[in-house]
Structure 1
Amino acid sequence: MTRLTTKKVLAPVLALALAVSTPITAWSETLADTLVSAYRNSGLLEQNRALLRAADEDVAVTVSQLRPIIGWSADVTRGFGRNRTQGNGSVSIDSTDASFGLTAQLLLYDFGRTRLQVEAAKETVLSTRESLRSIEQQVLLRAVAAFMNVRRNSQFVSLRQNNLRLLRQELQAARDRFEVGEVTRTDVSQAEAALALAQSGLASAQGNLTRAIEEFVSAVGREPGNLQAPGSLPNLSGDVNAAKAVAVRAHPDIHSAQHDVAAADLTADAAAAATRPRIGLNARAGVEEEWGGSDYVRSGSVGVEISGPIYQGGQLTALRRQAIARRDATRGALHLARLQVQQDVGNAYADLRAARASREASQEAVRAATVAFRGVREEAQLGARTTLDVLDAEQDLLDARTNLISAEIDVYVAAYAILAAMGQLTAKDLNLAVQTYDPAAYYNLVKTAPVDISPQGQQLDRVLRALGKE
């Protein structure tokens, strides 16, 4: 009878364990492709762009208060009744009166309150633009993480599949050797147990890959292609303090908080001006005529009105104190934003250092596990090692390979997290091949509060119709 040797069975083990992962789809996709799709398909970006346009309109609404307000009114009144007089009986006094009037109001002076409100609205627009930039960073960082996690889990699945194929061969070899009396039933049972655990591990890895793909679809807006290995890491400075200084200067959360403080200062000044008089110009023109008669009245008036509060139950002073308190709150928020940004940079660099150290350790672990596996395999050929020893060595190599894959992915995620923490993870900073959104374009159309019939208003209508079709 031919005897089966351990060498014949275990020779392909190393090659199978180090096999390259299988692509999940046919077409090739780079990290840049993923980021472009995330930028184009993000509903979160669309939502916040709409919020920015709403903030732009706040400027137009406030500007309109500095312009003439013209209105009209018309009414037709039917009067009826009878007038009884001594000697003449009763006389009908039915009549129909019609009137039409125009009114106009113009703010002349309010101690700068409305202009302060206009400037505050402009600061709010600038703050909202920075918030949009911050959201853009979140969207792109999420896409990076989704890309990397699909790659991570697809490679995990490939490793598990290779391991499962190997264990099936080992189980068959153990059964064959048992038949010829080289091993005991215990060796066969150990191989069967290892195979069952490998099947469980593969099922878990496939479930994790499915979840990673679902996250990719949610973050990017489509199914992933054959995700290619990312290129070189972003060019990062090793100086954490320098990176923190850049973040404090450039991060959109800092800029947004600074504009919020400016808006709150202006709002507090406007609240103080609300207690002062208001000077306005009023004009009216109208005509009244009895229906069917020849009499009519034409009238008009022009006047300057000065008005101001005397006592409103303490409302104005409460509003002023409230505005001051909110201003102080925004100043505190700016301080917290600065601390948070610095902490985020420090944490991101710590994550990168840990990921790099883990990668180096995992590379050494793979090297050592490979050497150990080869040694155990050779010793098993000489009968100095059992089947369990070979299975354990193989599992150690699988774990080392898994940890290396995960560490390499973590390095890339941490590097892009540093860019986000510094405020440099935008489509413009990354030079993505995409038409970037211009946050000032809509503002430039509405900042003068154009009416519908003006050329600018008609251009706005076309813009809104185009936005509605997207």
Structure 2
Amino acid sequence: MLAVLLSFASLSSHAASAAALTLDQALAAAQEAHPDLALAVADQAVAAADRDLAAARSDWNLSLEAGLRQARPTTGPDAVSDNSFKLNARKSLYDFGRTALATQAADSLLEARAASLLDVRARRRLDIMARFFDVLLADLQYASDNEYMAVAYVNFDNARDRLAAGQLAAADVAELESAYQEWLVKRNAAQARQRLARAQLANAMNRSGRLSADLTDPDLVGNNRPLPEYEQLLPLLRTSNPRLAALRAQLAAATQRIEAVRAEKSPALDLELEAADYSREASTRDNLRGGVVLTWPLYTGNRVNAQMAREQAQFQRLQAESEKLSLDLEQTLLETWLEIGELQRTARTAAKKNTDYRDLALERARGQYEMELKTNLGDSMAATMAAKLHERQTEYRLALAFARLEALLGQPLEKVAGDKTAGENKEQTK
């Protein structure tokens, strides 16, 4: 126990804060600044700018033209000034869907970026939760290995005394020393993992260098939630998963871009207004003019066809990605669902029973130790610590599996249960 306390004291000297960190506090960092989150926000900002750019295609275009010229009229020998000043305004009246389709494509892409942002936040929560549990497990592993090392050292130290008294052979002492050295190596490696796990948690929270000395072990009451049937979860995955939603939006954007490219061969109708002033009067010049201009592209070469082929290839690629992702996510959903079921039904019970047994064995060992019947108290304490480690590891696995399940569904399980109850009540009403 002294070695454990000294280890934590050493670790605290490198920590930025001595306050115990809770899981809720750590998960709150998922909403704070982070490079992954900044990338997703930047992608969303680019998509918003593209949407504004597409919608601006039908805005007024106002241009100013000023010219300083010298001209020699055909009716006179001298050169005269032929300066001009023109103000031109032009606006698209109808472009046969170009602007509308480009704006729709940009809106769909913005929707995809918003779904991707939700997915990034969900993955950040999962990463922080996993790193938080890694720290707790590293502490428990260190305590367990340290307990076993202490037992091995006591056995080795006693053997040296017996060797000096001629009660034990040197080979037996060497065997016990070797066992102690092995546990010493494991204990030191576990101590290094404590520091590494804290550094990984700090990086996941975007707080590099600010290591948390103490963490509060969460209650994880959500592990007792009922698990809905797989057949109930599968439709929710297909409709609400953020990654699938992002790809569906990208597919919609690709379809709209194809139609926008196809519209490039259609005519365009523009309104044009112009005001001008000239230094030399002429009968063919107008100070004010206005009209409607019809532009019909008769030949565009291979430009439109090549762009169309590119957009169609991009659509096919996105479609293949969507189908592959759907298969992968369905497989992940089944694996996660089965893992939760196995952990809830058997693994938790087995781990708890093993912990209870080790607690009883420790109490028995304490009683025998006090009566000086046996000296296996250290072994029992080490086994109890190892059983506690396994029990908490099982609970952390279950909590992470539930979190992955909710991330796959894009909504909390409570909402799934609430929707099911509402549906059942509606059927009963009918």
Change (3 A) 1:218 1:18: closer
Q: What residue is the counterpart of 2:182 in the other structure?
A: 197
RMSD over aligned Cα, in angstroms?
4.0
Structure 1 residue 98, shift from structure 2 partner:
4.5
Superimposed CA distance per residue, residues 170-191 of structure 1 (whole angstroms, 9 cap, x where no aligned partner): 3222222333344333332232
1:174 aligns with 2:159: yes
Secondary structure of 1:41's counterpart equals: coil
| 2:222 aligned to which of 223, 230, 233 | 233
Between Structure 1 and Structure 2, how many residues are aligned? 396
Match of 1:413 among 400, 405, 416: 400
1:28 match: secondary structure: coil
**Map of 1:424 onto structure 2:** 411
Residues 246-274 of structure 1: CA deviation (Å, up to 9, x unaligned)? 22222112222222232222222222222
Residues 258, 312 of structure 2: 8 Å contact kept = yes
Q: Give the aligned partner of residue 424 of structure 2.
A: none
Secondary structure, aligned partner of 1:122: helix
Note the 1:89-108 alignment, pairs <5 A. Answer: 98-108=83-93
Q: 1:228 to 1:394 in 2, by over 3 A?
A: closer
Q: Give the corresponding residue for 2:21.
A: 29
2:151–2:378: 8 Å Cα contact kept in structure 1? no
Structure 1 residues 175 and 376, CA gap change in structure 2 (3 angstroms): farther
Equivalent positions of 1:331-410 (< 5 A) are 331-356=319-344, 357-365=346-354, 400-410=387-397
Give the alignment partner of residue 326 of structure 1, picking from 289, 298, 314. Answer: 314
Q: 1:288 touches 1:298 (CA, 8 Å); kept in 2?
A: no
Trace 1:263-302 onto structure 2 (pairs within 5 A): 263-289=253-279, 299-302=287-290
Q: Which residue of 2 aligns with 1:186?
A: 171
Which of 228, 232, 237 is equivalent to 1:242?
232
CA contact (8 A) 2:116 2:243 kept: yes
Q: Which moved more, 1:160-169 or 1:248-257?
A: 160-169
User: Cα offset for 1:392?
Assistant: 8.6
Judging changes above 3 Å, is the alpha-carbon distance between structure 1 residues 18 and 54 closer, same or farther for their aligned structure 2 residues? Answer: closer
Q: Deviations over 1:70-93 (max 9, x none)?
A: 12133445x699xxx9xxxxx995
| Partner SS for 2:32 | helix
Describe the shift of the 1:402–1:190 C-alpha distance in structure 2 as closer, same or farther (beyond 3 A).
Answer: farther
Alignment partners' CA distance in 1, 2:367 and 2:174: 22
2:299 corresponds to which of 301, 311, 317: 311
- Separation in structure 2 between the aligned mates of residue 289 and residue 166 of structure 1, nearest angstrom: 106
8 Å CA contact 1:72, 1:103 repeated in 2: yes
The structure 2 residue matched to 1:112, chosen from 97, 102, 120, is: 97
Q: What is the alpha-carbon distance in structure 2 between the residues aligned to residue 425 and residue 196 of structure 1?
A: 48
The share of aligned pairs that are identical, in percent, is: 21
Structure with greater helix percent = 2
Cα displacement (A) at 1:365: 4.8
Distance in 2 (alpha carbons) for counterparts of 1:46 and 1:417: 22
Q: Residue 44 of structure 1: which of 36, 49, 60 is its match? A: 36
How far does residue 48 in structure 1 lie from its aligned partner after superposition? 1.1
**Contact 2:84/2:276 (<8 A) preserved:** yes
Contact 2:149–2:183 (CA under 8 A) maintained in structure 1: yes
Q: 1:18 to 1:403 in 2, by over 3 A?
A: farther
Distance, in Å, in 2 between the alignment partners of 1:376 and 1:46 is 56
Q: For the residues of structure 1 that align with 2:141 and 2:82, how far apart are their CA atoms? A: 88
Please, which runs of 5 or more residues in structure 2 have no aligned partner? 13-17, 417-430
Distance 2:81 2:412 in 1: 72
Q: What is the distance in 1 between the residues matched to 2:4 and 2:365?
A: 17
Cα deviation 1:22-59 (Å, max 9, x = unaligned):
69653122111001023213221122112212211212
After TM superposition, the structure 1 = structure 2 runs for residues 109-188 of structure 1, keeping only pairs within 5 Å, are 109-188=94-173
User: Which residue number in structure 2 is paired with residue 435 of structure 1?
Assistant: none
Instruction: Report the equivalent of 1:221.
Output: 206
